Structure 1
């Protein structure tokens, strides 16, 4: 049984994605409670379950969750039921996410974190809004189903949340990059696209990523999401364009919500070309997006009846609203009448709300706060409408260039045609553990990750002997190391009857030198709750790229005086035969990293 249900602030169901087993279970409960007549059957499509049935069954626990969160700031994280039936809770912009499954709480929490992140990628700030349409909902469902049924339990790239890097020789690498650069230059000259990216994947491995100078750098989560998107959209046709909201690097002021058109072209021999066009006004979009989160903060403060925190929260909201209004005047100088009308409605709503807040701060009358709370939903709707309509203006200016993207994809395919078969074969044999056995006797498997770039190098599990390394051992190893990492342990080694496992996390500066953290991570994690979800801005509990930007937060904690992006975070997982000693495993790890760096070159990874 597996499913995701999302409730809005009124406890109405706005999204559901249930498999057949869970739909049948809910139908059975509804019959027992008299909500459905005897003999009723679950719908063939789990997403077609009657929302009223879901509301009546889950409303008590949702209401309890909101009371615990709003009045006590101590919301439920999970509920464990009989027969291994578990529920975990999440929240985003006032929407409550319920993830239900019969797997471990830690795994379920990670899947929920991914579901929330995918929601942000598909909807941006207008979560499940009527203006967003059915296309975003369908895209979210496709991505969720692909991740949960095909990827997270079968592929190590999605277990570790890092994109595999395809190793090719320098000359071919140069040819690919020059081809993608020429593609971006063509988009710039003929279409005026100053902010664009071009990615080439072969058999779901990253070959190259090129970007224009003005484009916002892609985050590790962006790369993984884009790779997932190509897997989810298994199409008969070779071309597809979708609108998504990428994240961008966290240290950029315009990050968080980057409206992007992703044009996917399936080329020859398992090649996939992605052309990304950023089409919004970044300062404006970022300002509106941040306003949603600030607005949700003030709603939470009001629910907790915290008068002391309310005024600073209001001042923060006022700052972001003023920034949004200023950005609207700056970036939308020539705008249609419908945009003008939307801006006027939003301004009137804000002026009315602002007057009520200022009046409330004079005498703190409860009646005024009730009036404020009753006016907030309408203000939120106006903000959503503003977000949607301003993007629609920018989007309409970019739609005419979709035909050009198809043409440039054909040019790329023609230029790389003579290398296509080689790339396909190389992707199937990217890294073989056999090549390392002579220098590293006893080594069974390794996974080397650069958490800043979101890329990884590892032998393909399909080419490994499953009898020598059962896949379950690898999944259990990663799960255990995450538990220790959340306790502040960056080096872990242990044995079972067959294998010797080792895990290392370390930091390097931009020159490749090791940077040591002077902070006692174990004590810091205990005192602050970092890694457990307590007090974290993203609210997720599991390390990873999709679930949360865990590693950049970790680097910031360890090196607060260094600018973001100046510290690189690396991880190495090694599995040896059980006869290998700990000293030998450490030495192998050190030499393995040096060997890989010599082979690929630091600029490539």
Structure 2
């Protein structure tokens, strides 16, 4: 059973995605059993007391709660953003449901930016729905993106992207990124000179976009083998849309880019990401919107002591917003309107005026909505057929190999054609009893793992995902290392920090209670790991990376031996990744 729901500021259901089991469960609470519960209005009425309770406790008392657990094992998880309440109702563990809810909120920011009202459109509802469905269909583990690192094919793919640049006309925009994804694993990335680097969450979001497109194209081709080019129904006619990538100190999706998708071959996707030159505006508007939302909550709580400082912060942020708008040659009347609304808001909060602070705050919100409209520019048209043909021709010798890679979980390939790839056979003699391992760099959002084909008889992909979920729970409890048994398997999980480019500084171990108060680990934005590093290395977290290693042994291996092997394996992987000559797969 699962339902994902988004309620607006007046408790109307803005977005909903549920299964039949959820409807059956909701019928237990409905007096009129024969009534059709698939109507959003009926669901809103049944859940209205819970939503109202959550809002009242959060807004008027500041006593927020993030989840509820029922006796029938139903879990309800809450989150709030810009006066909208996000809810997931399921039978999953609280941490897993909370992680999925955080990803849902990230998806909304990714496709809608600050204008969450775009979800009123059926197209955006379908888009969010397919992203939620595709979230767990890839091969990557939560919070880490896939990368294929064989030297031969990656160099060829990069050359193909460089060659395709000559055929792409995107004037007047000069900054862009070209990518090739195999399944959800990044094969190659080419960025134009002066472009802002994409963050690990951006690559994860784009990989999920590619998985959604690949699944749709696969389903269409099964019905019609003659289809050459299929339009994705949630994108434009050219399979393009405006999306938002992460930017600013908050690292939230707020910088508008134009995304263009095209199918190179089954499960191989070409992505163009075009910078719309609105990054500074997006960051400033995002901060202003967040601060204004906090101010409106303070006014609702009558917490007048915090209002002056919040007003000062909002004024500084609005100054950055108007400066960024002027720099982008936006409407000067809009800048004057924002400045005027700020003066009215400050005056109503500090002196006696006919206008109440709530009224002027609402007027400011309306003015900011006009600024948010500037972050939804027209999608530039890009002729993609010629560069697509160029890419297909250059990577043709590797096409069969890449399609195999796209279909295999944790795929690294094996055999004479891929002798440089990482396989478990390289470690069997040195680490007796080891059947699988996962090495994750949480700072860069990449992970390394051997081919699952080597241990398919002993370990299924679903089992691996459950082990990763268990590791998340242990890390969230504040443990740096743990061992446990699961049936015939013995699992060892270790987490540590690394620092390069400077002398090693002793970490200040975070208090377990402080770690438990953080968001659950493994979400797309990686907020947990970023905040843990900041707690352990206050004011010195720039050069610190956080690593994880999960080792799976057969149950006959003693626990001390498994721990010792995990330590040795960590050193071996570190040497492998540092050796530039080693052609290892970075997933």
- Structures share a fold, TM > 0.5? yes
Query: Counterparts of 1:61-100 in structure 2 under 5 Å?
Result: 61-100=50-89
Kindly indicate whether the alpha-carbon contact (under 8 Å) linking 2:102 and 2:523 is maintained by their aligned counterparts in 1.
Answer: no
Per the alignment, residue 137 of structure 1 pairs with: 125
Secondary structure, aligned partner of 1:97: strand
Match of 1:107 among 81, 96, 111: 96
In structure 2, relative to structure 1, the CA distance for the partners of 1:14 and 1:268 (3 Å cut) is: closer
The yes-or-no answer on 1:223 pairing with 2:207 is no
- Alpha-carbon offset, residue 311 of structure 1: 0.7
TM-score, length basis structure 1: 0.83
Q: Does 1:440 align with 2:439?
A: no
1:580 pairs with 2:557: yes
Alignment of 1:126-525 (within 5 A): 126-129=115-118, 133-147=121-135, 150-151=136-137, 157-158=140-141, 160-169=142-151, 171-184=152-165, 187=168, 191-233=171-213, 234-235=216-217, 236=220, 237=229, 240-248=239-247, 256-268=253-265, 270-332=267-329, 335=330, 339=331, 342-343=334-335, 345-359=337-351, 371-388=356-373, 390-392=374-376, 395-396=377-378, 399-400=380-381, 402-403=382-383, 405-426=384-405, 428=408, 429-430=411-412, 431-461=422-452, 463=453, 465-471=455-461, 473-510=463-500, 515=504, 517-521=506-510, 524-525=511-512
C-alpha RMSD over aligned residues: 2.9
Distance 1:497 1:205 in 2: 31
Give the TM-score normalised by the residue count of structure 2: 0.85
Structure 1 pair 563–599 and aligned structure 2 pair: CA distance change class (3 A): closer
Q: Is the 8 A contact 1:15 1:128 kept in 2?
A: no
Number of residue pairs matched? 551
Kept in 1: contact 2:326–2:332 (CA 8 A): no
Q: State the Cα distance separating 1:289 from its structure 2 match.
A: 1.1
CA change 1:602–1:312 in 2 (3 A) is farther
CA deviation after TM superposition for structure 1 residue 176, in Å: 2.3
Does the aligned pair in 1 maintain the 2:326–2:335 contact within 8 Å?
A: no
1:583 shift after superposition: 3.9
Separation in 1, partners of 2:332, 2:27: 48
Match of 2:520 among 527, 535, 542: 542
Deviations 1:233-268 (A, max 9, x none): 2234356222211114x65x8864111122112113
* Shift, 1:107, TM fit: 1.7
Q: Which residue of 1 aligns with 2:6?
A: 6
SS at match of 1:264: strand
Asked if 1 retains the 8 angstrom alpha-carbon contact of 2:146 and 2:446, the reply is yes
Moved over 6 A (4+): none
Distance 2:359 2:541 in 1: 43
Greater helix proportion: 1
- Structure 2 distance, partners of 1:254, 1:118, is 14
SS at match of 2:102: helix
Secondary structure class of the residue paired with 2:305: helix
Specify the alignment match of 2:226 in structure 1.
none
Separation in 2, partners of 1:602, 1:309? 53
Higher relative contact order (CA 8 A, sep 6+): 2
**Change in 2 beyond 3 A, CA 1:516/1:563:** closer
CA deviation after TM superposition for structure 1 residue 347, in Å: 4.4
Conserved in 1, the CA contact under 8 Å of 2:284 and 2:321? yes
SS across alignment from 2:515: coil
CA deviations on 1:347-377 (whole Å, 9 max, x unpaired) are 44334323312325xxxxxx97x82213323
**Could you tell me how far apart the structure 1 residues matched to 2:163 and 2:500 are?**
29
